[in-house]
């Protein structure tokens, strides 16, 4: 079976580094026609664009890569980002709501403003961008090959082993997963599938602080004995975006090596 995303158009938020960049790489390596990436920093956008264009060339592909900087937590910037995308493409097959942030502190020190900031990006901006991009997703949607929304949730949305006080983060991830399941039902008649990916720990700028402190325990308690790697996520993204996965809708897919079944908190 040959999985691909040939002739498709995708948007990946937070596509300049970490898991978002892995998503973009998976799409570019497997035939995407046009990919739009975004993050706050213009320089990071340009560097990721160049990286993805080089990757396409190395793989004998001719992906068009568009990079548009935007802070999606700022309502007007999200609206403007959508406007800029709509000027360049007339439909979208794949929308990956990946941009996210975290904050960890003990309950007594954990400010309400920190909670609001995390929820604003990880939940409100995910809702807002999905709302903005749904009309473009509908334009690409067909019965045989629905458009896809992928929400980058987290394994913390279904387990209870928060070891560093990520109160806003864990709430935001449970919220986006629940939003995803509900949208999966509501959007199915409009031929848009909605699925959430629940990564375990992957070394990225966001996760490296925690991995430095608890990496040994996270690895030792993981049934697969290691953290997540780029290829683990890329395979899942390609599958969920492929025509072959057109009947997969409303899932929360853990990509954690089974870590959720062996709570590391018990070992601290
Ligand atoms: N790494 C893990 O172990 C892990 C596990 C479970 C879930 N996740 C989820 O995976 C997603 C990606 O995380 P990551 O680990 O790859 O983090 P990361 O390395 O920090 O990357 C985050 C990306 O989002 C962008 N971003 C941050 N704030 C933004 C904003 N306000 N508007 C637009 N873009 C913004 C960043 O670029 P700029 O700084 O330029 O804006 C960057 O491209 C997040 O939703 C995270 O919760 C990660």
Cα 101 to ligand 1 centre (Å): 6
* Closest residue by Cα to residue 12 from 88, 72, 98: 98
Burial class (CB in 10 A: 0-12, 13-18, 19+), 173: buried
Residue 150 in contact with ligand 1 by CB distance below 6 A? no
pLDDT digits (tens, 9 = 90+) for 172-221: 999 999 999 999 999 999 999 999 999 999 999 999 988 888 888 899 99
Tell me, yes or no, if 169 is annotated catalytic: yes
- Could you say which of 22, 127, 167, 169 is catalytic? 169
Task: Report yes or no on 164 lying in a domain.
Answer: yes
Report the atom number in ligand 1 closest to the C-alpha of 15. 43
Instruction: Please list the ranges in the chain whose pLDDT falls under 50.
Output: 268
Q: What is the CATH number of the domain that holds 86?
A: 3.40.50.720
80 in a domain, yes or no?
yes
- Ligand 1: distance of its center to the CA of 99 in Å? 4
> In 3D, which of 3, 140, 135, 131 has the Cα closest to residue 79?
131
Is the residue at 17 inside a domain? Answer: yes
Q: Is residue 179 within 8 Å of residue 151, measured between CB atoms?
A: yes
Give the Å distance between the CA of 15 and the centre of ligand 1: 8
Residue recorded with tokens 């928060």: 162
Q: Is the CB of 199 under 6 A from ligand 1?
A: yes
> What pLDDT score was predicted for residue 196?
99
Q: Is residue 55 part of a domain?
A: yes
Q: Is 205 in the pocket of ligand 1 (CB under 6 A)?
A: yes
Answer for the pair 179, 127: CB distance below 8 angstroms, yes or no.
Answer: yes
Query: What is the model's pLDDT at position 264?
Result: 64
Would residue 105 count as lying in a domain?
A: yes
**Model pLDDT, residue 214:** 86
Q: Is residue 67 part of a domain?
A: yes
Give me 111's structure tokens: 């400010």
Question: Does any domain span residue 48?
Answer: yes
User: 125 with 92: CB under 8 angstroms?
Assistant: no
Give residue 115's domain range.
9-200+234-258
pLDDT of residue 25: 98
CA of 143 to the centre of ligand 1 (A): 32
Are the beta carbons of 21 and 43 closer than 8 angstroms? no
How many domains in the chain? Answer: 1
Q: Is residue 215 part of a domain?
A: no
CA distance 225 to 259: 9
């Amino acid at each position: 079976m040959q999985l691909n995303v040939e002739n498709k158009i995708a948007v990946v938020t937070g596509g300049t580094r970490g898991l978002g960049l892995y998503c973009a790489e998976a799409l570019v390596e497997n035939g995407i026609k046009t990919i739009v990436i975004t993050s706050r920093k213009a320089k990071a956008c340009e560097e990721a664009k160049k990286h993805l264009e080089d990757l396409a060339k190395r793989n004998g592909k001719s992906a068009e890569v568009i990079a548009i900087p935007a802070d999606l937590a700022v309502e007007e910037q999200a609206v403007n980002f959508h406007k800029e995308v709509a000027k360049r493409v007339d439909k979208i097959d794949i929308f990956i709501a990946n941009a996210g942030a975290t904050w960890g502190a003990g309950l007594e020190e954990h400010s309400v403003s920190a909670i609001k900031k995390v929820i604003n990006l990880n939940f409100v901006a995910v809702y807002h961008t999905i709302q903005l991009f749904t009309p473009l997703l509908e334009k690409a949607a067909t019965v045989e090959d629905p458009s896809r929304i992928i929400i980058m949730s987290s394994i913390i949305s279904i387990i209870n082993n928060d070891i560093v006080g990520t109160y806003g983060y864990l709430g935001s991830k449970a919220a986006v997963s629940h939003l995803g399941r509900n949208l999966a039902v509501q959007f199915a008649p409009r031929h848009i599938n909605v699925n959430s990916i629940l990564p375990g720990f992957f070394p990225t700028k966001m996760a490296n602080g925690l991995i430095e402190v608890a990496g040994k325990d996270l690895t030792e308690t993981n049934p697969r004995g290691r953290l997540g790697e780029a290829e683990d996520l890329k395979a899942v993204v390609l599958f969920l975006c492929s025509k072959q996965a057109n009947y997969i809708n409303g899932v929360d897919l853990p990509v954690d090596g089974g870590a959720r079944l062996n709570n590391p908190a018990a070992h601290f």
